[in-house]
A and B are shown apart, each in its own frame.
Chain A
């Protein structure tokens, strides 16, 4: 199936730990994103990569570090997790070709920090 896939789907961890979320897309898109959705469903962009190059870096703590080994993968590493990091993190991808058709989203990673 062509899709954006994220792992893990659920992640429960203690404060202070370091964790990673992985994202892969097989759509041939050249741009990938990380969005954070808070408990009120508000979506905020964190990062965007185009062909492995960082192009959007919103105001996000330095504890969050994205890594794109190739244009089909965008991982998110979080150091020293805090309670406020609990949220659903969505990966997405897009391709700008004769216009922008919007994103294809992954199904999300629900991170709970205890």
Chain B
């Protein structure tokens, strides 16, 4: 079945450091790919998405590029802030109009001042 693998956390960075959270997937066909963010005590919010190969999703300084050749969708940000501390989830939706999202296990990011 389809699956998503994220790098194990937690990740701790200093403010203004560069962030990479790795995400790879296994899927048949051409899924859409997503990054969601969960701030403490809240629900998940869509951060960015990409629907086809070589698409780049971006939002709030975060970016991720859909790489079909490496089946990856790594999340990056050039300069993190304390307010970016959260849990980040990579997810894919199954091809063909299915609206089921399969999530990775999440990566907790803590940014220290």
Contact = CB atoms under 8 A, between A and B. Distances in A.
Interface of A: 4, 31, 40-43, 45, 48, 50, 56, 90, 92, 94, 96, 99-108
Given A45-B101, A94-B99, A107 B42 contact: yes
A100 B93 contact: yes
B78 to A, nearest CB: 24
Contact of B100 (A41, A48, A108): A48
Nearest to B103: A43
Nearest to B102: A45
A27 to B, nearest CB: 13
Contact of B43 (A40, A90, A94): A90
Contacts of B42: 107-108
Interface of B: 32, 34, 36, 38, 42-46, 49, 51, 87, 89, 91, 93, 97, 99-101, 103, 105-106, 108
Contacts of A31: 99
Contact of B32 (A41, A100, A106, A108): A100
Nearest to A101: B49
Contacts of A102: 32, 34, 36, 46, 49, 91, 93, 101
Nearest to B91: A102
B19 to A, nearest CB: 18
A5 to B, nearest CB: 10
Given A4-B43, A43-B106, A102-B49, 6 more contacts: A50-B99, A96-B97, A99-B32, A100-B97, A105-B36, A105-B44
A56 B100 contact: yes
